[in-house]
Structure 1
Amino acid sequence: MEIAVIGTGYVGLVTGVCFALLGHRIICIDRDVDKIDELAAGRITIYEPGLEEELQRQQEERRLFFTTSMTAVSCADIVILAVGTPQKADGESDLTDLEAAVRSMAIYLSGHTYIMTKSTVPVGTNEQIEKWIKATTNEAFDVVSVPEFMREGSALSDTLKPERVIIGARNAHASEAIAALHRPLTEQVVETDYRTAEMIKYASNAFLATKISFINEMANICDKVGADVVTVAQGMGMDRRIGSSFLEAGIGYGGSCFPKDTHALLQIAGDVDYDFKLLKAVIEVNKDQRRHIRKVLLQELESLSGKFIAVWGASFKPNTDDVRHSPVLDIVRHLLKEGASVRMSDPAAELNFRRSLDHPLISWHTDPLEAAQGADAVCLLTDWPQFLSIDLHKLKAVMTTPILFDGRNAIKQEQLVDTGIRYVGIGRPGMRGIK
């Protein structure tokens, strides 16, 4: 098929590359000239393992192309909408760019076209997309909602081997056509209406965020009663009704999806006069968890003023350079406010972090041990493999005060034996102070 993808952000780029890999001819469209020039030259503008190599392979096979011109839509059997829907100050999704893209795209529709919405949108948006298109063209079309569930760091495998595909459509013909497009990927297809498909996306992310906030609350209780939250989570996860995923206690969730989608769902509930008490608590717990490290460091060091704190990690999770809503941003702001100097290290996210937060008391270091040189404490905030493999004997040797705060509970007890490092995890009181 001829497929046009509008938007070359994370979702659009990965989606385009993966459908090209399946043999379709893909044209990716974006108004950002510099980005399109980079992609056309085979260089990706995000960090995602394996994506650049696959993009170049599909370009060589003449199945993947990039342009700034919306006229490419005229040849498409399917148009995929992957335009960003950022969060407004009130938590509502901003559909300004999506509406502009839809109205611009509709001018060039030719013959019957399927419009596939991958952007995360509030309930009722696909109906609004229909109205925007009908106001612009008389060409035949069907709008189909297909929310994405890819995870940064494993986006290729998530797209090519999805656990399920959700399809929301107004009629059976459109639903079946898009289901057939996805059947080479999975037989786990749920066909439903627009509003249910839109809600599945928000419900899924809100539930996963709830699991994270729940286990973080359990970790804080474990600290007080002397239990180990890692083992608690392991025991919980063995129950198939609960499952082990998203039960890792830490400094809270971040990224482009969970914070935005939880706030958007809260706004959706508010629009219909429903008080979503549980989701409000999930969001509040996540905010509090980011402040937990400040309390711990003050307990250990008494004051942060004039102290050197090494921070390992800037992205919200490993294998991505994404710092959107990264807990590290808030934590570093807290440290700076307390008068600390921050020495940072991250394999991929330095540039994006500096765009969001740059400060004369922040220095950057390629080598994590160099960042820890003379530090009064090291804070492991993103569990990149490069950090977890560091010899802790060497770490202790370069630090002024050998305190390691593990914000991801990623360090194993055997790594700490005979190191002389004071270890502080989250909900792991039994490991506190191991020598």
Structure 2
Amino acid sequence: MFVQQDNKITVYGLWHQGIVAAACLANKGYKVVGCDIDHKIVDHININKLQVEEPGLSELIKKNLKKGNLKFSKDLSKEAIDSDYIFISYDTPVSDQDEVSLDIIFDTINVIKNNIKKDTIIIVTSQLPAGTTYIIQKIIDNQNIVYIPENLQLGNAIYRFENPPLPVIGAEKDYAFQKVNNLLKPFAKSWERTNIITAEMLKHALNTFLSMSIVLANEIGDLCEAIGADGRDVGKFLKLENRIGRNALTRPGLAFAGGTLARDVVALLKIANKNFVKTKFIKSIWDSNNDRKSYLNNRVLKLLGNIKNKKALILGLTYKVDTNTLRRSASIELIKNLSDKGVEIYAYDPALTDEQILSLPEIINFDKEIHKISEKTDIIIIMTPWPVFKNIDFSEIKKQIIFDTPSMFDKSKFQNLDFDYYTIGTNFKSEN
């Protein structure tokens, strides 16, 4: 069974996951239409204004628009009529309590359901509570539906779409599995198969496992701080053990945020509650991470001591490197907390737009001239580990406290400099 490249693929949802999928599929020669129930998103894309910056994505979109492989449309219903494949790829929003909202999913399904052909393949990749794909299947009355547990990452999404680390398709029907398997062979030669609800559960399990790793590393880091051990070295050397592995999340750090991991922990807790299953361990992951959210603010205040007339320089404001999103950014929360206590805030991030900077009134001075603005500050807090920060010549920086939350630098860098250098997972200064 071979997929014709002139088969039409329509991708619904263009915030991040969907726009990456649309661009990558088009780049393989498929004819792709991108749609979103929020027409403003389509308008922005048509003027090359993406909702979230992603390295290489803008160029990939331009390339395939020019080739004629990619276009964008506001007419959700019309585009469904002759689609051979439909992707439901919305980034499902989460509340402040990390509970997922499915409104955009079902609003879109209700708009397009009457125009979907019986042989159209529906591919759901949105992050949904287990069991949701079966509900979608009933609404559209189409048996050719599959679920794929997407595993993209902000800042590295194109590579991970083109080289899927978790090539699994949840499908009930052989026909649907074979069609999707062939469609996605340009990205992974071999796709594993399971049923739909197991694939949904796999996504929950993956993110909860990652959440567990972060929580464990953070608690080990707290113990290291208490007794004078180096949590960074503990995390680094754990990766030498092949049962753990070099990509494991073992370095002490901040609470997981952003909603991506948390929504799956919440989803499992809801499933447990609904089915009267005891999940004390999963609940402990949630509780420990919530406790961790106060760590950063408390540690900074402890390092500053008397905060009267104190000034802080925050380096890196985005949620993570290689993106410009500020959603659930620990830096923004820290800035607001310190500002509320009277600390003057100076900051820099290489990815922020003028509009984003203006939306942060707590910042007294935003300037890429780090050497210049650090003359006024008492502490430099490195948050997002942008590579440009590696170029800072600390020998030209006014002597002050350095709090390197992502452990960008080796402590030896500061051994001959008169800085009080701290990281997470240690409770000692650099040895001068």
Q: Normalised by the size of structure 2, how large is the TM-score?
A: 0.92
Greater shift in the superposed pair: 374-383 or 169-178: 169-178
Greater shift in the superposed pair: 191-200 or 309-318: 309-318
Contact 1:46 1:321 in 2 (8 A): yes
User: Is the alpha carbon distance of 1:354 and 1:275 closer, same or farther for their aligned partners in structure 2, counting shifts above 3 Å?
Assistant: farther
Q: Match for 1:226 among 228, 239, 243?
A: 228
Q: CA RMSD in A?
A: 2.1
Greater shift in the superposed pair: 234-243 or 362-371: 362-371
Alpha-carbon distance in 2 for matches of 1:360, 1:237: 40
Contact 1:345 1:371 in 2 (8 A): no
**1:73 alignment partner in structure 2:** 80
User: Is the alpha carbon distance of 1:45 and 1:371 closer, same or farther for their aligned partners in structure 2, counting shifts above 3 Å?
Assistant: farther
**1:262 alignment partner in structure 2:** 265
**2:414 alignment partner in structure 1:** 416
| Unmatched segments (≥5 aa) in structure 1 | 135-139
Alpha-carbon distance in 1 for matches of 2:341, 2:375: 20
Q: State the secondary structure of the residue aligned to 2:376.
A: coil
Q: Match for 1:236 among 229, 235, 238?
A: 238
Greater shift in the superposed pair: 77-86 or 412-421: 412-421
Matched to 1:241, the amino acid is: R
Aligned pairs (5 A) from 1:319-330? 319-330=322-333
Q: State the secondary structure of the residue aligned to 2:306.
A: coil
**Is residue 27 of structure 2 the alignment partner of residue 21 of structure 1?**
yes
Aligned pairs (5 A) from 1:75-90? 75-88=82-95
Contact 1:86 1:260 in 2 (8 A): no
Q: Match for 1:161 among 160, 163, 184?
A: 163
Contact 1:291 1:331 in 2 (8 A): no
Matched to 1:380, the amino acid is: I
Matched to 1:416, the amino acid is: F
**2:3 alignment partner in structure 1:** none
Alpha-carbon distance in 2 for matches of 1:257, 1:384: 21
Alpha-carbon distance in 1 for matches of 2:293, 2:97: 21
Q: State the secondary structure of the residue aligned to 2:345.
A: strand
Show CA shifts across 1:353-389 (max 9, x none): 668x733455422333344331111111111111122
**Is residue 425 of structure 2 the alignment partner of residue 427 of structure 1?**
yes
Show CA shifts across 1:252-302 (max 9, x none): 322241122222322222222234322332233333334223333333322
Matched to 2:245, the amino acid is: G
Alpha-carbon distance in 2 for matches of 1:323, 1:271: 34
Contact 1:25 1:63 in 2 (8 A): yes
For residue 36 of structure 1, report the CA deviation from its aligned partner. 1.6
Contact 1:87 1:264 in 2 (8 A): no
Alpha-carbon distance in 2 for matches of 1:369, 1:106: 58
Alpha-carbon distance in 2 for matches of 1:67, 1:244: 43
User: Is the alpha carbon distance of 1:269 and 1:333 closer, same or farther for their aligned partners in structure 2, counting shifts above 3 Å?
Assistant: farther
Aligned pairs (5 A) from 1:188-203? 188-203=190-205
Matched to 2:418, the amino acid is: G
User: Is the alpha carbon distance of 1:91 and 1:316 closer, same or farther for their aligned partners in structure 2, counting shifts above 3 Å?
Assistant: closer
Q: State the secondary structure of the residue aligned to 1:107.
A: helix
Q: State the secondary structure of the residue aligned to 1:3.
A: strand
Aligned pairs (5 A) from 1:278-357? 278-349=281-352
Alpha-carbon distance in 2 for matches of 1:51, 1:370: 34
Q: How many residues of Structure 1 are paired with residues of Structure 2 in the alignment?
A: 424
Matched to 1:95, the amino acid is: L
Aligned sequence identity (%): 25
User: Is the alpha carbon distance of 1:35 and 1:267 closer, same or farther for their aligned partners in structure 2, counting shifts above 3 Å?
Assistant: same
Contact 1:6 1:82 in 2 (8 A): yes
Alpha-carbon distance in 2 for matches of 1:242, 1:352: 43
Greater shift in the superposed pair: 383-392 or 83-92: 83-92
**1:137 alignment partner in structure 2:** none
Aligned pairs (5 A) from 1:168-187? 168-187=170-189
Contact 1:102 1:133 in 2 (8 A): yes
Greater shift in the superposed pair: 291-300 or 421-430: 291-300
**1:249 alignment partner in structure 2:** 252
Matched to 2:415, the amino acid is: V
User: Is the alpha carbon distance of 1:32 and 1:93 closer, same or farther for their aligned partners in structure 2, counting shifts above 3 Å?
Assistant: closer
| Unmatched segments (≥5 aa) in structure 2 | 1-6
For residue 392 of structure 1, report the CA deviation from its aligned partner. 1.1
Contact 2:383 2:404 in 1 (8 A): yes
Q: State the secondary structure of the residue aligned to 1:80.
A: strand
Contact 1:304 1:335 in 2 (8 A): no
Alpha-carbon distance in 2 for matches of 1:174, 1:240: 37
**Is residue 124 of structure 2 the alignment partner of residue 122 of structure 1?**
no
Q: State the secondary structure of the residue aligned to 1:321.
A: coil
Alpha-carbon distance in 1 for matches of 2:287, 2:331: 17
For residue 42 of structure 1, report the CA deviation from its aligned partner. 3.9
Q: Normalised by the size of structure 1, how large is the TM-score?
A: 0.91
Greater shift in the superposed pair: 39-48 or 4-13: 39-48
Contact 1:219 1:427 in 2 (8 A): yes
